[in-house]
């Protein structure tokens, strides 16, 4: 066991068990009732600037970017079922006191699951709203006790071409790796997700454990995480290695900075016909803009 369950999570931040286990509540939300109304005030503030209507479960689980299972949006749902997610082990390495290999159960057990309804914006121009279940990455980091040398956190996805047929191609350098500054990782909005819509996380959505950083483009959200590494220097990340002229380390949603091949000023919610204006930091500017005070966000894209 990693660490015993603690009582250090404020009750105001915990969604009642009856909410996240009540499937009818989620189904009603998908039908038009704002799921944000089910949350305590503090979590409603974290969820975003407006009353978010979740994207239907069927859409969230069949329209995915997950190149380990292919480059089409439909491939993950068709091919990810072969992935064995139990037992699962996560290695903690680098500049932290509690390094080692942990079972998924021991890593997750100390934390109370919370519902977080987050906007998601893909760099390709589409968006959706997902009711995640998960826990604060910052809470996990505090328990792992990074040393003073730790400035960044790197996340590594499973590398197993036998289970992930997309890894048999050279479209990306494998395994998939992503990274955050330590203060980004510690921000209250950043979570490790273990489920969605009150159900365990489907394989095609990153089971059993995925990173969710709602103010960044979706490719920052590493899936099927098998390694968490605390680093002194900025880690390389997969898309930055593959196409450095198009993808930077930060990947903050910024409608004023176009992708070299298309505009980022507008987005289309999946399932809707009309586009809408893209919001700075994906609508979470009030919560996260202070992380980047003084930075040139055109250079640090």
pLDDT tens for residues 278-298?
999 999 999 999 999 999 999
Residue 300 counted as domain residue = no
Tokens read off for 182: 């330590």
Q: Is 69 exposed, middle or buried (0-12, 13-18, 19+ CB in 10 A)?
A: buried
pLDDT for residue 51: 64
pLDDT of residue 258: 95
Does residue 82 belong to any structural domain of this protein? yes
Element at 75 (helix H, strand E): helix 75-79
- Looking at residue 52, its pLDDT comes to 83
DSSP 187: S
Domain hosting residue 101, numbered range: 11-292
What are phi and psi for residue 116, nearest 5 degrees? Answer: -130, 120
Per-residue pLDDT of the chain (301 residues), as tens digits, is: 333 233 333 333 334 434 444 443 443 333 333 444 444 444 444 444 456 899 999 999 999 999 999 999 999 999 999 999 999 999 999 999 999 999 999 999 999 999 999 999 999 999 999 999 999 999 999 999 999 999 999 999 999 999 999 999 999 999 999 999 999 999 999 999 999 999 999 999 999 999 999 999 999 999 999 999 999 999 999 999 999 999 999 999 999 999 999 999 999 999 999 999 999 999 999 999 999 999 999 999 9
DSSP reduced 3-state for 77? helix
Q: Count the domains in the chain.
A: 1
Asked whether residue 227 is domain-assigned, the answer is yes
Cβ contact 36:46 at 8 Å: no
**Do the domain assignments include residue 298?**
no
Residue 6 covered by a domain: no
Distance CA 74, CA 229 (A): 31
E strands along the chain, which residues?
Answer: 89-94, 100-103, 114-121, 126-136, 152-157, 177-181, 191-196, 199-200, 210-212, 225-231, 266-269, 276-277
Q: Looking at the domain assignment, is residue 193 inside a domain?
A: yes
Residue 250 belongs to domain with CATH number: 3.90.420.10
Spatial CA neighbour of 180 closest among 166, 169, 196, 191: 191
pLDDT given at position 43: 46
Please check whether residue 35 lies inside any domain of the structure.
yes
Contact 239, 247 (CB under 8 A): yes
Q: What is the pLDDT of residues 36-47, one digit of tens each?
A: 444 444 444 444
**DSSP per residue, 222-272:** --SEEEEEEESSPPP-HHHHH-TTT--S--B--TTS-BTTB--SEEEETT-
Q: Is residue 38 part of a domain?
A: yes
Q: What are phi and psi of 171, to 5 degrees?
A: -65, -30
């Amino acid at each position: 066991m990693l660490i015993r369950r603690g009582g250090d999570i404020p009750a105001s931040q915990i969604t009642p068990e009856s909410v996240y286990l009540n499937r009818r509540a989620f189904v009603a939300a998908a039908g038009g009732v704002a799921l944000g109304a089910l949350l305590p005030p503090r979590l409603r503030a974290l969820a975003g600037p407006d009353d978010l209507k979740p994207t239907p479960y069927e859409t969230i689980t069949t329209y995915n970017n997950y190149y380990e299972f292919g480059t089409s949006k439909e491939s993950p749902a068709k091919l990810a079922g072969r992935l064995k997610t139990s037992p699962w082990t996560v290695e903690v390495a680098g500049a932290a006191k509690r390094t080692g290999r942990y079972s998924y159960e021991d890593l997750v057990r100390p934390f109370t699951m919370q519902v977080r309804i987050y906007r998601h914006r893909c760099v390709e121009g589409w968006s959706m709203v997902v009711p995640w279940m998960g826990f604060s990455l910052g809470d996990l980091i505090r328990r792992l006790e990074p040393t003073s040398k730790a400035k960044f956190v790197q996340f590594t996805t499973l590398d197993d071409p036998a289970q992930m047929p997309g890894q048999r191609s050279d479209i990306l350098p494998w395994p998939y790796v992503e990274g955050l500054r330590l203060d980004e990782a510690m921000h209250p909005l950043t979570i490790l997700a273990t489920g969605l819509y009150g159900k365990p996380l489907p394989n095609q959505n990153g089971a059993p454990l995925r990173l969710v950083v709602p103010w960044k483009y979706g490719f920052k959200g590493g899936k099927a995480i098998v390694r968490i590494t605390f680093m002194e220097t900025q880690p390389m990340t997969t898309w930055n290695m593959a196409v450095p002229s198009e993808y930077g380390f930060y990947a903050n949603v910024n409608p004023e900075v176009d992708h070299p091949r298309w505009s980022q000023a507008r987005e289309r919610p999946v399932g809707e016909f009309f586009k809408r204006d893209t919001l700075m930091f994906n609508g979470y500017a009030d919560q996260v803009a202070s992380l980047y005070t003084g930075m040139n966000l055109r250079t640090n894209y």
